[in-house]
Amino acid sequence: MNKEQKKRYIDDMSSQFEKTEAVIVTHYQGLTVTQLDDLRKRMREHGIKFKITNNRITKLALQKTKCKELSNLFAGPTAVALSNDAIASAKILTKFSKENENLKILGGIMGPDVLDLAGVQNVATLPTLDEARAKIVGILRSPAQKITSILLAPASKIAILALEKSKN
């Protein structure tokens, strides 16, 4: 890289670190090109960037950002996942690292919090935003469904229900 390319790389990486909600740092040594392509494809499907980094220049880019605490993780064959959905990126990387032992999760940042490997794995166990929404909708719909089923039930079932209530 010439000086202009390095400057563009630093500016680009700095802005990506500042814009994203979650950054997860990994080592990818030993993964094949096919495995890396598969991981990138999984990440892209969820709007996550998975980028192999130039450590020395990336450390320079980190100095100007909220992610500067991660600079000690950039040694060896390093790649980062940049996402606005920390849970999805943690889930994908954790699952992939279980399938491919050559992918090592080192740590990351979620919002203002610095995470180690255990922190990233804990985040991976949380429900995604869509899963949480579905659970809330299910909870809210449940009482309405019970009322509807009672109102649509034949009169004999309503009488039986009333008798059971009066016994209690």
- Where, residue-wise, is CATH 3.30.70.1730 in the chain? 3-126
- Residue with the larger pLDDT of the pair 154 and 109: 109
pLDDT at 156 over 70: no
Q: Edge-to-edge strand order for the sheet containing 78-83?
A: 49-52, 78-83, 22-27, 104-110, 113-115
- Of 94, 102, 107, give the one whose Cα is nearest residue 77: 102
Copy the structure tokens of residue 67: 């992610």
pLDDT tens-digit profile of 4-59? 888 888 888 888 888 888 899 999 999 899 999 999 999 999 889 999 988 888 88
pLDDT at 154 over 80: no
Q: How, if at all, do strands 49-52 and 22-27 pair?
A: unpaired
- Residue with the larger pLDDT of the pair 158 and 105: 105
pLDDT at 60 over 70: yes
The band of 139, judged by pLDDT with boundaries at 50, 70 and 90, is confident
The band of 96, judged by pLDDT with boundaries at 50, 70 and 90, is very high
Nearest-5° Cα angle at 109, 106 to 112: 155
The topology (CATH level 3) of 3-126 is: Alpha-Beta Plaits (3.30.70)
pLDDT tens-digit profile of 98-136? 998 899 999 888 888 888 888 888 888 887 777 778 887
Distances from the Cα of 15 to the Cα of 6, 64, 99, angstroms: 14, 9, 32
